[in-house]
Amino acid sequence: METKDSNLHSLKVAYLGPPGTFTEQAAINCYPLATLKPYSSIPDTAKAVLKNEVDLAVCPIENSLQGAVTDTLDALLHQEGLHIRGEFALQIEHTLMAKPGTTIKEIQIIYSHPQALAQCRQYLSTLGHIELAAALSTAGAVQQVLSSDTPSGAIAPIRAAELYGATVLKQGIQDDNNNYTRFVTLAKTDSPQSGNDLTSIAISFSEDRAGQLSFVLNEFADRGINLTKIESRPTRLGLGKYYFLMDFEGHRENEEIAKLLTTISEQASLMKIFGSYPRMA
């Protein structure tokens, strides 16, 4: 993703830490000259923008194998004032690592972020009855392993092994090499029109009436606007109540998109515009 922010030395960018996570690598790729600040969770990473601790936050939002990263979606839904400023993708390669001197056969427990564990399910099943434990981040899992007295392993980017002095036991253990994570940059404002943009919104309905969602979807078709993604998240207001999150082509300042958004807002009980931003190449 190229933005006007990309080469500013003074830019402060939050990411899910500690150093050595895939999110840090994504932030380095996109903002190589920025000052990077690690946070212990995705919600805290997003809040750092609202607290003016950073200018931007880089957060994973979707994986090609496991789908949505719900912590990021929930931050957009429930933290007022966040906008998507840009998007970009990173190919994911998972590496099994351990404390120096530990072999694969000795490992009793493997730590990693839940998404990483899920993306390596096939390989992990070949290791027998090894306990799997969730960590807040992949790099945090490496730190946990290095401080543990129990023979254990971590699944993390290979950079984490280099940073913390872990021994690499096996590279490329992900189930599918076509493994990409889509990241978004969160800020207090979105981006101006680039000519090749996406807009992300969320809507919900106060009453459960037949045809409500169908009406909204037909608006996209009738106006010739390409809807690229739709998914649902619970509203936290009871069973069966959902937000519908949508990505579609175009910028909210475009006349036809603005008319679409007005029509949708009249049909939905709630509409949040997460932002318009340049579409990744």
Instruction: Show which residues are catalytic.
Output: 181, 183
Using DSSP's 3-state secondary structure scheme, residue 67 falls into strand
Contact 113, 132 (CB under 8 A): no
DSSP class of residue 104 equals G
Residue 117 and residue 124 in contact, taking contact as beta carbons nearer than 8 Å: yes
Residue partners of 241: CB distance under 8 A and separation at least 6? 204, 234, 235
What is the chain's alpha carbon radius of gyration, rounded to the nearest angstrom? 20
Within the chain, how many helices (H) and strands (E) appear?
9, 15
Write out the two tokens for 204: 């919900």
C-alpha distances in Å from residue 121, one per residue of 13, 60, 67, 127: 32, 20, 15, 10
N-to-C CA span, the chain = 8
Q: 3-class SS at 105?
A: helix
Please state, in angstroms and rounded to a whole number, the distance separating the CA atoms of residues 232 and 268.
Answer: 15
Neighbours of 152 (CB within 10 A): 23
Q: Residue 181 forms beta bridges with which residues?
A: 63, 90
